[in-house]
Structure 1
């Protein structure tokens, strides 16, 4: 089986093929969830496809979301029934067919503060939410909502202050590790023939008259520039859409994107007693308290961001806001000392006449500003597949040839086929590998049936079956696999996106950095100086982020975060 392995060698081969080979049918720029989904959609229609990413796969918005696959209860209040129905259909597809190893159900408690009218109002909305889920072919499978008394709610979430609620409603949604899901989209696209390369920045477009016929790109690892020709180009660069379109000299931007910053904090699981998630209404939006293995994720904010898009910074005001809001309902308040991780992401919102970003559209749009160029913008993570389909549909029109319709509704991601059986066999896999059952479960929920590739590494080198120093929730094999199979090029890629060590450890991954750098140095061809440079860059990034989180506002937080430079190019590995 072709498992879409992405390595240093495959990246070099992909770049060489795209630069020296025949014209591609479709070249996708941007490997967030929508770009990766577009590459998979186009590849499974039988088209020749390239996928370029300026930094790392999912390094922008697609690794910094609330990590939920959901319809969006608040969109019902906005009467956006079509968006909710569409998202709920995609939720069912992901859980039941496309990615059962990556997307799993999670329940939420909605505390009620008023008797009678609020239970009737909120209950009707959640009942409609469940009903809309059933209108699609994949709506079943999640428990229906339940009304709870205050006693029942406190039993489900003991950390709630009794006086903060009169009862609650419990409902179901789903969660995902967004960066890993995006990575699996990239690898699945590669398995179907797409040529993919991260750390490759588009610096210009090739034109014949007004028509776009490809791109000029720079390999960030070597500095080499190359030209890639394509019959049509899909711009899926999210909050960078305006920057990308600006490279089309003299052409107006078809869409205006506003970046909305959302920050999340991560706290240890033992600080909050609860066996369900929680959703709270705030004056500005809604707040989620989301179970995340041995942690809780709490978020998010929704504020306009006009500063550095590459590294949006969380300020102390952002963290204070989340702590203040969640502490209104907790019997034992959280403090800054409880915060183990913080991350900030930018939502790409289609601009409209609005006073706040919370009111801007979460829907997406697809356009063709010039011949040969398709732009997809806006949207939400859950509906990435629909956005990708619409973008490729528009690209197909530019090809002026017969192309099959989208089939991604029928295409499970790598690791999904046979996942249920593999999960049922987890005790047997544990005995065969010599690993604890809990470790096998951890691997299955991150790699699905590709877990066998991890176990092969451990079989070849039993030391890789040991916990990773400084981040014992992960195996040493996972660091190596991130480079040999998942295209990680730098220490930051491994600690921040292939794993979540950077937000799941109190020291933000510093203790794990040296061991991880040494483990990945061999496959990447690093020398001693490269190892030290990568460690220094990662540590500087942590210092800058921690310092930014002590600043009072966005401007000072951004200036402080900019003190840490991006990862520097290294010698290309063989």
Structure 2
């Protein structure tokens, strides 16, 4: 379990026992590295300066996909690797979180486009069949058939369509479950903790000085190897080593998404649309649609990237070229922006981020310190395997190979049995089919833990008054099992009302804080600080989305201080 208490113990234990591997960065890559390392028998610690997955890894398109557009760039190796990882997530690692998702690809030309698209998607299907994680193969539709599946497509925008499959995932939940699984195998994990200095013996990096951002206390942790998995912060950690220019060069590319209510678009699949720059996905979730993304260079502060009015207008314009709905700003429940850590080839222009490779690289920065950058959410496990192999060296990596292809995440162990028994739990607790499906898709076999919480305290079985999709037990579970320390952690990264409701979850704020307060020992002053901070954050996000450019939007967001400040080290 991840709790406030386990976090404090982890910091103490890292100091007391030392580590074989210290992972810096608690996004999906760092979390995957921690799980890979600890399941090889290495003493492993992981720290994250914000909440788990608070950066790029909770601001994605929420897709686990092979990268169909890379197939058309003839990057067969990357597509094959991605489809293999998609298969592992669907079949073994996280079947409760990762679900097959159909997409419709509208066709504009009657023959030529259908032929080359069929060949491309056919290759996609063939590779997927050989690499595992079987999903239905492509199916072709004429114009009438396509409109029957997705009535909201403008008839003038297609002559037919192809349906193909990828997969979707709640990205933030994937990160939390990776960290929790690593902890279950003995890893030490501490969020709201940042590396402020690297400890060296000559050129050799031998550990790090960690600052607990909750208390301000600093501790020195010894480690045989430090792995920098901080994504767009890679360069900043590299500077702490006093070796600027030694690690991978990372370009921060901003990807923006908008969220609109489910009833505003009539369709039974997702949509895959080619644009002049990249692709646009319209992705269905039970209560809303996620639409994106953009791909533009970002040169502002990296703690809190934000969408601008121009970003949102771009997405609306491209979506409305195809949709009859004519979406407007009034339809938007939320917008969010994430920063992709793209590897920058020598000589690449910062303005050309859409052309930068999505492949990853592991680089030695100094003896005892390596860095990994690039990649994408889908391939996190392979990235983690490569990072730990690199840290161990070829000989030790052969002796202690990665086993994460076979390691199931929390919630996946016993998932099939829990799914078969779910109806009995639902009957006893009065859950309808929709509620049961919601809980299974978020918690998998841990549905039984929530059921026990509700049986022990029936108040936990009440839906949140302002957000009845979620139970009060889910808020409590976020604290008692998932490491949430603040209201923001719950509303942004556990129940995710920040992205699902027009007010960012403010209407549920009092009830959420009331559930959390006794579990975390908050007094009334702390409850007030938590709520005031969250309200200010939501308002800053809203105001930033109306700004005309990145610099203005970034300044608006930064005008609101974090409840737990993320301090930037001297010299960075």
TM-score band, normalised by shorter chain? over 0.9
Does 1:333 find its partner at 2:346? no
RMSD: 1.4
Q: Identify the residue that residue 49 of structure 1 maps to in structure 2.
A: 44
Q: After superposition, give the CA deviation of every residue in 1:62-111 in whole Å (9 maximum; x if it has no partner).
A: 00000000000110111110000000000011001110000000000000
Q: Identify the residue that residue 572 of structure 1 maps to in structure 2.
A: none
Output the TM-score relative to the length of structure 1: 0.96
Does 1:264 find its partner at 2:257? yes
- Work out whether residues 243 and 366 of structure 2, in 8 Å CA contact, stay in contact via their aligned partners in 1: no
Q: Identify the residue that residue 440 of structure 1 maps to in structure 2.
A: 436
Q: Identify the residue that residue 130 of structure 2 maps to in structure 1.
A: 135
Alignment partner of 1:58 out of 48, 53, 60:
53
Q: Identify the residue that residue 19 of structure 2 maps to in structure 1.
A: 24
Displacement, 1:131? 1.0
Q: Which runs of 4+ in 1 moved over 6 A?
A: 398-402
Q: Identify the residue that residue 549 of structure 1 maps to in structure 2.
A: 545
Relative distance call for 1:115 and 1:400 in structure 2 (3 A) is closer
Gaps of 5+ in 2: 566-572
Alignment partner of 1:107 out of 102, 108, 119:
102
Q: Identify the residue that residue 118 of structure 2 maps to in structure 1.
A: 123
Displacement, 1:250? 4.2
- Superposed, 1:90-105 pairs within 5 Å as 90-105=85-100
Does 1:503 find its partner at 2:499? yes
- Superposed, 1:156-167 pairs within 5 Å as 156-167=149-160
Q: After superposition, give the CA deviation of every residue in 1:192-235 in whole Å (9 maximum; x if it has no partner).
A: 00010100110010101101110001000000000010111111
Taking the aligned partners of 1:388 and 1:195, their CA distance within structure 2 comes to 17
Does 1:207 find its partner at 2:200? yes
Name the SS of the counterpart of 1:486 in structure 2.
coil
Q: Identify the residue that residue 33 of structure 1 maps to in structure 2.
A: 28
Displacement, 1:362? 0.1
Displacement, 1:402? 7.6
Q: After superposition, give the CA deviation of every residue in 1:352-394 in whole Å (9 maximum; x if it has no partner).
A: 2344101001000001121111211110110000000000001
Q: After superposition, give the CA deviation of every residue in 1:232-288 in whole Å (9 maximum; x if it has no partner).
A: 111100010001111012453321100000000000000000000001111111000
Q: After superposition, give the CA deviation of every residue in 1:128-177 in whole Å (9 maximum; x if it has no partner).
A: 111111222x14x2000011100000000011111111000000000000
Displacement, 1:468? 1.0
Q: Identify the residue that residue 479 of structure 2 maps to in structure 1.
A: 483
Displacement, 1:518? 1.5
Q: Identify the residue that residue 395 of structure 1 maps to in structure 2.
A: 391
Name the SS of the counterpart of 1:408 in structure 2.
coil
Name the SS of the counterpart of 1:417 in structure 2.
coil
Q: Identify the residue that residue 321 of structure 1 maps to in structure 2.
A: 314
- Superposed, 1:82-481 pairs within 5 Å as 82-136=77-131, 138-139=132-133, 141-352=134-345, 353-355=347-349, 356-397=352-393, 403-481=399-477
Q: How many residues align?
A: 563
Taking the aligned partners of 2:554 and 2:33, their CA distance within structure 1 comes to 32
Gaps of 5+ in 1: 570-574
Displacement, 1:437? 3.0
- Work out whether residues 418 and 447 of structure 2, in 8 Å CA contact, stay in contact via their aligned partners in 1: no
Alignment partner of 2:559 out of 556, 563, 570:
563
Relative distance call for 1:250 and 1:280 in structure 2 (3 A) is closer
Relative distance call for 1:284 and 1:521 in structure 2 (3 A) is same
Name the SS of the counterpart of 1:147 in structure 2.
strand
Name the SS of the counterpart of 1:382 in structure 2.
helix
Taking the aligned partners of 2:308 and 2:527, their CA distance within structure 1 comes to 31
- Work out whether residues 97 and 174 of structure 2, in 8 Å CA contact, stay in contact via their aligned partners in 1: yes
Output the TM-score relative to the length of structure 2: 0.97
Taking the aligned partners of 1:131 and 1:401, their CA distance within structure 2 comes to 31
Name the SS of the counterpart of 2:366 in structure 1.
coil
Taking the aligned partners of 2:533 and 2:33, their CA distance within structure 1 comes to 33
- Work out whether residues 349 and 361 of structure 1, in 8 Å CA contact, stay in contact via their aligned partners in 2: yes
Name the SS of the counterpart of 2:379 in structure 1.
helix
Q: Identify the residue that residue 75 of structure 1 maps to in structure 2.
A: 70
Taking the aligned partners of 1:553 and 1:478, their CA distance within structure 2 comes to 37
Taking the aligned partners of 1:130 and 1:566, their CA distance within structure 2 comes to 46
Taking the aligned partners of 2:557 and 2:7, their CA distance within structure 1 comes to 30
Displacement, 1:400? 6.4
Deviates more, 1:446-455 or 1:435-444: 435-444
Deviates more, 1:205-214 or 1:462-471: 462-471
Name the SS of the counterpart of 1:75 in structure 2.
helix
